[in-house]
Amino acid sequence: MSIINLLKNKISRMRTRQDMVVSALIIIPIVIIAAVSFSGSKNSKLSIAVVSDNYNNIQEDNNYKITVLSQKLGFSDLALGIYDFVVKENNDGHYTVETALQDNVKKQDVQKLFNNEKISSQSTKTESERGVGSSLLGLIVLFVIIEGTTLTVFFPNDITFKTLKRIFTSEVSEKSYIIAQFIFTFIGLYVPTFIAVAISKAILGNDIGYSTYVIALLTAVITGLSTAFALFMSSIMRDNIQIASCFIALIVSLICGCFYKFNSGIKIIDSICNLLPISSYMNIAEGLEKGNSLFQYRLGFLNLALWTIVMLVIGVLITHRRLKNGEFN
């Protein structure tokens, strides 16, 4: 009963926080849909700029988008990915290839293409084995974590404005309060995120290798984790919660391979990264997109559940301790 009353209270307070509504219902979906467009475009061809006066000699190829330029390009165009390769015709008719962001294998393929040699591998612009769906989910992880902290703001506000003290002088326990905040943040985060990802699926169709049910599950998992994280941070931090959360979220998203899958080659670093829940999440997302069964990732789900529960429990315990130490007075 008290949980319902606490929820009603938070919903009432949302009326004066249109910014939360705007960011949850408008900005996050826009970001997700923009991420969708990016994911959709990732499968497009590699772009090659050819610096040459002699266009007729150049082969067309279905794997590349070739643009002929008469003027030399700067290296910055490669550095920023405006072009993936720059091909220059030498005096002897041979072509040399320059790249900044593509690996040597792809570079040699382009070299062979232009020098009329046999190409041993065909390259596309898929930079990793990751599918469109898991790439999309990886891109939105950071935003979901940040938004989770935003939606949990009523908790630190209750501390600052002393209403938490008043609440705890009633029969409401710390556990009930945290549960109510969890439910509020979870629903506020899940609904717009799921709707946006579902719309993305409608746009991208079969490119996203998940059914709607799997999307619902994966969104629920990342939302639950983000909510637990937000509550954990709100319990342990006295102030600057959002700054600290953004910092941690950015670092963890990067090292867990949300934006770009990698292997550092250093065993201990990879082991630590694999223990983090976001790594489990990305593994599950990639695996499910490839058609693997849910059961195969039971350990991953367990890892995620464990992190979520542990963060929540620690949140409750620390809130209890802070209450008893008089920090809310």
Partner 1 sequence: MSFVNIVKFDLKNIFKTPMLVIVNTLEPLVLYIILGVIMKNKFSNKIMSSFDFYAVTTLIISATMIVMTTSNIFLDEKVKRGNRRVVYAPISKGQVYLSKLVSTFIFAIILFDILAFIEQYIFKCNFGGKNIIFVIILIDALTFFACSLSTAGCCILKNEDKVNSIIPLITSVFLFFSGIFVPLGTDSGIMKVFFSLSPVRYVTECSMQIIYDNNFALFYKTIIMLMILSIICILICKFTFKVEEYVR
Partner 2 sequence: MKDVIIVKNLKKNYIGRQAVKGISFEVHKGEVLGLLGPNGAGKSTTINILANVLSYDGGTIEVLGHDLSRETKAIKKEMGIIPQDLAIYEELSAEENVRFFASIYNIKGKELDKNVKKALESVELYDRRNDKPKTFSGGMKRRLNIACGIAHNPQIIIMDEPTVGIDPQSRNHILEFIKTLKAKGITVIYSTHYMEEIEAVADRMIVMNEGKIIAEGTKEDLLKKVNNDVTYTFVLTNLDKLDENLILNLDKVKKVNKTEDLLEVVVSETEDDINEIVSLILTNNCKIQNMNRKESSLEDIFLDLTGRSLRD
Nearer to partner 1, 247 or 324 (CB): 247
* Integer Cα distance of 159 and 155 in angstroms: 7
* Integer Cα distance of 249 and 246 in angstroms: 5
Sheet of 64-69: strand order equals 64-69, 46-51, 85-89, 95-98
Stretch in the footprint of partner 1 (CB under 8 A) among 54-62, 227-235, 258-266, 294-302: 258-266
Q: Binding of partner 1 at residue 31 (CB under 8 A)?
A: yes
12 binds, among partner 1, partner 2, none (CB under 5 to 8 A by kind): partner 2
Nearer to partner 2, 238 or 324 (CB): 324
Least spacing, CB of residue 320 vs partner 1, in Å = 24
The phi, psi pair for 200, rounded to 5°, reads: -60, -40
* Integer Cα distance of 329 and 159 in angstroms: 9
324 binds, among partner 2, partner 1, none (CB under 5 to 8 A by kind): partner 2
**219, 190 in Cβ contact below 8 A?**
yes
The pair of three-digit structure tokens given for residue 78, joined into one six-digit string: 């490669």
Figure out which of the listed residues 251, 272, 294, 310 binds partner 1, where binding follows CB under 8 A: 251
Strand pairing class (95-98; 85-89): antiparallel
The pair of three-digit structure tokens given for residue 26, joined into one six-digit string: 């408008």
- Secondary structure letter of residue 74 according to DSSP: P
Question: Could you tell me how many residues of this chain bind partner 1 (CB under 8 A)?
Answer: 63
40 binds, among partner 2, partner 1, none (CB under 5 to 8 A by kind): partner 1
Q: Which of 71, 154, 289 is nearest to 86 (CA)?
A: 71
6 binds, among partner 2, partner 1, none (CB under 5 to 8 A by kind): partner 2
What type of residue is 329?
N
* Integer Cα distance of 287 and 40 in angstroms: 19
Instruction: Look at the chain and count its residues.
Output: 329
Least spacing, CB of residue 161 vs partner 2, in Å = 7
* Integer Cα distance of 88 and 139 in angstroms: 35
Figure out which of the listed residues 11, 55, 75, 294 binds partner 1, where binding follows CB under 8 A: 75
* Contact residues for 272 (Cβ-Cβ < 8 A; gap 6+): none
Q: Binding of partner 1 at residue 79 (CB under 8 A)?
A: yes
* Integer Cα distance of 230 and 307 in angstroms: 13
Nearer to partner 2, 73 or 323 (CB): 323
70 binds, among partner 1, partner 2, none (CB under 5 to 8 A by kind): none
**177, 312 in Cβ contact below 8 A?**
no
The phi, psi pair for 230, rounded to 5°, reads: -60, -40
Nearer to partner 2, 108 or 173 (CB): 173
244 binds, among partner 2, partner 1, none (CB under 5 to 8 A by kind): partner 1
Nearer to partner 2, 60 or 171 (CB): 171
Nearer to partner 1, 55 or 161 (CB): 161
Q: Binding of partner 1 at residue 37 (CB under 8 A)?
A: yes
Between residue 93 and residue 152, which ones bind partner 1 under the rule CB under 8 A?
98-104, 107, 127, 142-143, 146, 150
Between residue 211 and residue 240, which ones bind partner 1 under the rule CB under 8 A?
239-240
Binding site for partner 1 (CB under 8 A): 17, 19-20, 22-23, 27-28, 30-31, 34-35, 37-38, 40-42, 44-45, 47, 65, 74-76, 78-84, 98-104, 107, 127, 142-143, 146, 150, 153, 157, 160, 239-240, 242-244, 246-247, 250-251, 254-255, 257, 259-260, 262, 264, 269
